[in-house]
Amino acid sequence: MNKKIIFILVALFSISVLFLISKSFWTKEIKQTKVTVARVIDGDTIELANGKKVRLLGVDAPEYGQYYYEEAKRKLKDLVEGKEVILENDVTNADRSGRLLRYVFLDDLFVNLELVKLGFANVYVVYPDVKYSSQLLEAEEIARKNGLGIWKKFSLPYSNCIEITKFHYDANGKDDENLNDEYVIFKNICNFSVNISGWTVKDRSFNTFTFPEFELKANTEVTLFSGSGKNTNSEIFWNSKYAIWNNEGDSLYLRDKEGNLILFKSYPPL
């Protein structure tokens, strides 16, 4: 056989083998398992009859002490506690705490999606577990526009006072090494001061900042830096050890000390 043909055949065989190895490495067989839910721990975590804990994939419900925590927990409890459900995996099997990461189905009801659709949780999608990300994001947008659950807007004197004038989420160079080039500028556009002491800023993950004693004067700005520094009348520092905002996309939730949603900003736009 011609040496050139042999070389081509060997090359094609090698490429095929590499493709199969790569495919098996990056993909995982989707499995569905029928289980019984013993109890609901919070709005996005359940414990099975066998003692294993399961964290619902793609969603993040309010934590203990946060606005709408009890409502989210009660909703999940009403949906699945003591019932037989189907667990479906994605790519990542478990989190660092050992909790299984799963999508949960009750008959024809997609529980993760239901929590988001009714405003009991926001979307929290982390690559590579993105199987249902488009459906979840679409449901969140509908819940937000309709002011359901965690998205409920309250008629407060300062409800429409705060806006973001600049969101610099992508720091120059390596984000973790340039934390103070990652910042958000908030402006009080009202003609009266707003006391934002105890207000919280949260990302789409679990990172939460609580404002110290601070009054934002009328028509003035305050910059919230991710890194460290000395707080002033115009600069506040998160004092994080790592970057907060994901460059590929994230969301900012600003809530007052009662947990009322004051401002929501997402990028890229949903």
Q: Which residues are the active-site residues?
A: 55, 63, 99
Query: How far apart are alpha carbons 35 and 86 in whole angstroms?
Result: 6
Amino acid (1-letter code) at residue 85: V
Q: Are 199 and 216 in contact (CB under 8 A)?
A: no
> Chain centroid to CA 225: how far?
20
| ∠ Cα 43 44 47 (to 5°) | 100
Query: How far apart are alpha carbons 10 and 190 in whole angstroms?
Result: 72
